[in-house]
A and B are shown apart, each in its own frame.
Chain A
Amino acid sequence: MKRPLNSMQFPLYVLLLLLMGSVIIPLTTEKFNMKAKTVILGTLVLSWGMMLSTFINVLREGPYLYNIGNWGPKIGIQFNIDIFSTSMSLFILSLSILVIIYSLKDIEHEIYFKQISVYYSLVLLLILGMVGITVTNDLFNTYVFMEILAITSCAIISIKRKKENYMASFRYLILNTLGSLSFLFGVALLYMVTGYLNMSEIYIRINQVWELYPTNLLLALGLMLTGLGIKAAVFPLHVWLPDAHSTAPTPSSALLSGLVVKVYIFTAMKLLFRVIGLEIIDTINIPSFITYFAVVGMIMGSVFAIGQRDIKRLLAYSSVAQIGYIFLGVGLATELGLSAGLFHVVSHGFMKSLLFLSAGAIIYKTGKRDIRTFKGIGYQMPLTMILFTVGALGMIGIPGLNGFMSKWYLGFAVLEKGQPIYLIVILLSSFLNAIYYLPIIISAFLTEGEERNIMVLEDIPKTMSIPMVLIASFCIITGFFPQIVMDVVSRAIPTFL
């Protein structure tokens, strides 16, 4: 296979570009002005373009392994450039661009003016970490990217100078570090018995290891899965998530909830299916453990969400439940299940960021966070609330929105596995979603607030409304034409099984 050299190196360029951008922004501009915005968006759009061309290239000519600096897999870092990693990176970059366009206006109102350029530097690093963790094929490299993500996301949370932010950030940091350390411990144990850090190379040797050193392998697996479980906020390990996601600046809540949590799911998928392999994890029954955790999370996340009064906290708990859906798909360990899980990764990413952004717009405009004060807000900000409704109905799973399609696919994956009881849990969780999302919409549109409920055209800035409209239209389009996502996703899945 002959490819033009430069296009093969695009993934690395993307990472370098983001790194460069994050360094340049705080350096070049004292004030946060048009120039800085151009740098940020330019960096992102350029990386998006490169990722897109890589994706098309991969679709056309097949996947390849990219060795950085031509070091071999034994000592070098390797990127696995296939449909899965490129499509998911593309998804990460696209959503990030939309969220960042939104944030350009919103962030002025959330954090101190001086820190805005630092914030964007951190956000670019965050995106770098997410793209890196998705494309890398090396366990230690994964750890490094995980730490980059951990520090940047904690910093983003604590950039808002508030009491709660410090505590949330600290808790997140401690738990994140515990997670990373468990992961690294596992990596060390795996390296001890295989001598490789490269995922594909470990996979080749894993059967032998399983026969000779089962203790090592099992310990490593337990530690790594727990670590990833913390980071991906699987139910009982979700403790950091509500505080962190609800206190962060809203655009970054959208990124954290919509994307950051998801890349750890990608890592877990890679670990389970690309490093260890389906045969071994099936013999030690890991998939069913994962489904148990997932099912509990689906119900308990919603139960906790019902009790919330703060809109962002409610959305954060809803994420816990939705992560349960994704892990249910992963835990089924079938082609259908994994594709349904990945489909839900994408649809939840879009829906949840839409919800966070519209909640952010409400906070931006009215300063209200308590859902009991949302009475009549649909008249003050009709567009925002309509977009919120789109997201919420998607979460409930109304046909015509992408949330329904993920439930549909997940339902069939569950049935194919022969466990209809999980289908009932899925639908029960949908009903619980309805219980906490609908009252917000009803009180927004159908009750009179203290202000005279005059239907006014809202004046949230265009840069905030356009990204939201784009995300919402994507939700609706994929709701009606799920194949757009599903075709790509189902082509990416066979590399796992």
Chain B
Amino acid sequence: MEIVQAIIDRINYIGAAILFVIGLYTVLTHPNLIKKVIGINIMETAVFLLMVSVGYVAGGNAPILGLTKEQTSELYVNPLPTAMILTGIVVAVSITAYSLSLIVKIYEAYGTIEVDEIMELRSEKAVE
């Protein structure tokens, strides 16, 4: 029972780790470039989840000053990780956008977005 309790207590962290591994697995195994980008996105989500969970304080309020009425306790949730995650999401979005646009260009250039086929095309060219 203790183990289950411990898992439940740390479910966010475990979830983050699992998501990270899933993302990595996706990037690792899929030759499709878009799927690789999706994998990267999953990994990003994992990191954000971890970061946000770090800032969470059990029973804490939203860190907005002046909300005295609904305040149930003296505790506030740490606002800093949330702010950072916002930055992180912006970064993640820009990277996703950029990589998708690159994929479009790659498709135009090679006619495929499977990395295996692209590498084959390249090595054929190298042999020539």
Chain A positions within 8 Å of B, measured between CB atoms, are 75, 140, 143-144, 147, 150-151, 154-155, 158, 163-164, 166-167, 169-170, 173-174, 177-178, 181, 184-185, 188-189, 191-192, 197
Nearest residue (CB) in A for B46 is A185
**Contact between B106 and A170 (Cβ–Cβ < 8 Å)?**
yes
Instruction: Name 18 interchain pairs, CB-CB below 8 A, sorted by A.
Output: A143-B88, A144-B91, A150-B95, A154-B98, A155-B98, A158-B102, A158-B105, A164-B122, A166-B109, A167-B118, A170-B103, A173-B99, A173-B102, A174-B36, A174-B37, A184-B51, A188-B51, A192-B50
With an 8 Å Cβ cutoff, the count of chain B residues facing the other chain is 32
**Contact between B106 and A167 (Cβ–Cβ < 8 Å)?**
yes
Q: B88 touches which one: A150, A166, A184 (CB < 8 A)?
A: A184
Complex interface bits, B18-53 against A, C-beta within 8 A gives 1, otherwise 0 = 001000100100000100110010011011001100
Complex interface bits, B70-100 against A, C-beta within 8 A gives 1, otherwise 0 = 0000000000110010011001001100110
Q: Considering the chains assembled together, what is the distance between the CA atoms of A150 and B44 in angstroms?
A: 15
Chain A interface main SS type:
helix
How many A-B contacts at CB < 8 Å in the complex?
73
Q: B50 touches which one: A147, A170, A178, A185 (CB < 8 A)?
A: A185
Q: B109 touches which one: A143, A151, A163, A174 (CB < 8 A)?
A: A163
Q: Considering the chains assembled together, what is the distance between the CA atoms of A184 and B7 in angstroms?
A: 23
Which residues of the partner chain A approach B37 to less than 8 Å between Cβ atoms?
174
Which residues of the partner chain B approach A191 to less than 8 Å between Cβ atoms?
51, 54, 81
Which of B94-128 touch A at CB < 8 Å? 94-95, 98-99, 102-103, 105-106, 109-110, 118, 122
Q: B47 touches which one: A167, A169, A181, A192 (CB < 8 A)?
A: A181
**Contact between A188 and B106 (Cβ–Cβ < 8 Å)?**
no
Which residues of the partner chain B approach A144 to less than 8 Å between Cβ atoms?
87, 91
**Contact between B98 and A184 (Cβ–Cβ < 8 Å)?**
no
**Contact between A166 and B98 (Cβ–Cβ < 8 Å)?**
no
Q: From known contacts A151-B94, A170-B99, A185-B20, infer whether A177 and B40 are also in contact, taking CB-CB under 8 Å.
A: yes
Which residues of the partner chain A approach B27 to less than 8 Å between Cβ atoms?
174, 178
Nearest residue (CB) in B for A189 is B50
Q: Considering the chains assembled together, what is the distance between the CA atoms of A334 and B4 in angstroms?
A: 47
